[in-house]
């Protein structure tokens, strides 16, 4: 149940999780610490049973009270409307019917042999998929928040299970690079999202690549933002408005202040002045003090992740040949080409809230553990988004069907996607865990997650690696545009 997260996973369920994560390039200690309980209260995008908490009578508090009452009376969790799945049988029917739509081809390929590989024994996907074996024994001994998790000889064998193989699970995405400045040096960056539709349209047209509208970004707290100066006249160039490149106040080299989310100040050269190219915030402020410029702050937030900056760049994946089994970690960029002004990212496949196929890239994250595992810059400033409506929820699975998700199981499910009023690229990660991983079914929608939670088959908890707030910048993109 959502409100009862303190229960520790059994060793039988934990061993394949840790091993699969190791196979995806993760650090065993970080993965083990990722299950700390959280006191964070749900946002409007959290599900309560089979619906959003905002639609539940009494909200999250009313849902928790109903769930608690059900436990005290020895019953299954009470669905919000008094109907729906109230026991394991009904929940299974839900998963097998409405919640388990498996479209051959586009949504999921389930070819016997490749797509739905089954082992005869407990070592399901021991070599090719889940990465169990000697590594699993090592991972099982990891220390999680002071508790030693050991593989017991008396532990039951892990039942055979399926490996969920999506077609085109990882595909290359060419994204236009742009060039700006920081402290006199060149910064190469991408633009993926804007809180303002007008800016999204202008930038999309200028770069020939779509910028998504993300209204919740307008609610980002000031501490989650950096500042960017955008020029509206002066020297012609490759900036957003057709003039010189943007000037940034920080890069990932200034870790404590850098954020890919930027608040904006328009820079306009005053009449009678001779425009020049400015390459630092100090230059801009000095020119304003001399009466040469007018600065106008804007109520617009744009996602502008840095790819290459003075003294550093994003990690480039060693193996640029993508397959459906490509590990999640080890870098999110395949190529940085500053001559062609293209950055090729790995686009990961998942599901939107209603089961639609989505692809996303990863550009930065907090805290450092998961950021290093994924090969992206760490951004401590993003932690301030944990309780902000500027971040929305993404469910990742830590057991159940083995697959191409970041923890080695089925791909994640997002609570909003491009085109939704609630879409944001900043994701608050929830970990989903099955009560019986061996009986897990495929989930494709937020409603699927809610139904399984309501039936008592699934629980979710806010991911807190090392006890820290966890936010990932995952812009949803169209890699085929």
Distances (CA, A) of 397 to 114, 126, 306, 435: 21, 19, 29, 12
Q: What are phi and psi of 305, to 5 degrees?
A: -65, 135
Quote the pTM value: 0.70
Report DSSP state, residue 219.
G
Tokens of 20: 């699969």
Q: What is the pLDDT of residue 51?
A: 54
Cα gap 58→333, rounded to integer Å: 45
What is the pLDDT at residue 430?
97
- For residue 61, what pLDDT is reported? 67
| SS3 state at 262 | strand
Q: Which long-range contacts (CB under 8 A, 24 or more apart) does 65-73 make?
A: 67/1, 67/2, 67/3, 68/3, 71/1, 71/4
Q: Report d(CA 194, CA 199) in Å as an integer.
A: 7
| pLDDT band for position 327 (cuts 50, 70, 90) | confident
Residue 250 and residue 41: Cα distance in Å, rounded? 32
Instruction: Report the pLDDT averaged over residues 104-116.
Output: 38
pLDDT of 203 > 50? The answer is yes
CA 77 to CA 25: how far, in whole Å?
37
Counting residues of the chain whose pLDDT is more than 70, the rounded percentage is: 67
Which pLDDT belongs to residue 57?
Answer: 75
For 216-291, list the strands marked E by DSSP.
226-231, 247-248, 261-269
* pLDDT (0 to 100) of residue 469: 95
At 406, is the pLDDT very low, low, confident or very high (cuts 50, 70, 90)?
confident
User: Mean pLDDT over residues 289-304, rounded?
Assistant: 97
Do the beta carbons of residue 245 and residue 207 sit within 8 Å?
A: no
Q: Residue 101: what pLDDT?
A: 39
Burial class (CB in 10 A: 0-12, 13-18, 19+), 296: exposed
Residue 158: pLDDT above 70?
A: no
pLDDT tens-digit map of 27-86: 444 444 343 333 333 344 455 555 555 566 776 567 667 766 654 444 334 344 433 333
């Amino acid at each position: 149940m959502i409100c009862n997260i303190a229960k520790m996973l059994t060793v039988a369920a934990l061993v394949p999780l840790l091993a699969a994560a190791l196979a995806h390039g993760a650090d065993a200690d970080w993965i083990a610490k990722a299950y700390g309980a959280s006191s964070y209260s749900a946002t409007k995008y959290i599900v309560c049973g089979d619906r959003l908490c905002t639609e539940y009578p009494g909200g999250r508090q009313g849902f928790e009270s109903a769930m608690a009452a059900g436990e005290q009376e020895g019953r299954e969790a009470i669905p919000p409307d008094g109907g729906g799945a109230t026991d394991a049988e009904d929940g299974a029917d839900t998963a097998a019917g409405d919640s388990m739509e498996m479209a051959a081809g586009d949504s999921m390929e389930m070819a016997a042999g490749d797509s739905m590989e089954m082992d005869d024994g407990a070592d399901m996907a021991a070599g090719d998929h889940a990465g169990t074996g000697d590594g699993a024994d090592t991972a099982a001994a990891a220390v999680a928040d002071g508790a030693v998790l050991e593989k017991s000889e008396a532990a039951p064998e892990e039942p055979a299970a399926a490996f969920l193989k999506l077609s085109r699970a990882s595909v290359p995405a060419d994204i236009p690079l742009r060039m700006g400045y920081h402290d006199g040096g060149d910064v190469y960056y991408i633009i993926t999202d804007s809180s303002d539709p007008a800016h999204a349209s202008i930038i999309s047209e200028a770069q020939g690549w779509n910028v998504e509208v993300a209204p919740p970004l307008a609610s980002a707290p000031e501490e989650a933002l950096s500042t960017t100066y955008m020029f509206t006249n002066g020297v012609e160039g490759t900036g957003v408005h057709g003039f010189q490149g943007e000037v940034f106040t920080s890069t990932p080299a200034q870790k404590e202040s850098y954020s890919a989310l930027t608040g904006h100040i328009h820079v306009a050269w005053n009449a009678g002045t001779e425009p020049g190219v400015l390459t630092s915030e100090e230059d801009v402020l000095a020119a304003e003090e001399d009466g040469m410029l007018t600065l106008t702050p804007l109520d617009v937030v744009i996602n502008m992740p840095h790819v290459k900056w003075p003294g550093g760049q994003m990690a480039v994946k060693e193996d640029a040949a993508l397959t459906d089994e490509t590990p999640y970690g080890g870098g999110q960029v395949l190529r940085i080409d500053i001559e062609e002004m293209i950055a090729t990212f790995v686009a990961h496949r998942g599901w939107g809230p209603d089961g639609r196929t989505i692809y996303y890239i990863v550009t930065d994250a907090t805290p450092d553990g998961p950021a290093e595992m994924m090969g992206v810059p760490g951004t401590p400033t993003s932690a301030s988004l944990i309780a902000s409506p500027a971040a929305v929820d993404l469910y990742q699975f830590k057991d159940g069907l083995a697959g191409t998700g970041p923890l080695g199981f089925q791909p994640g499910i997002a609570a909003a996607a491009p085109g939704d009023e609630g879409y944001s690229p900043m994701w608050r990660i929830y970990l989903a865990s099955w009560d019986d991983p061996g009986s897990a079914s495929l989930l494709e929608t937020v409603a699927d997650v809610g139904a399984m939670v309501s039936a008592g088959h699934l629980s979710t908890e806010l991911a807190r690696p090392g006890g820290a707030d966890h936010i990932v910048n995952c812009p949803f993109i169209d890699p085929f545009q």
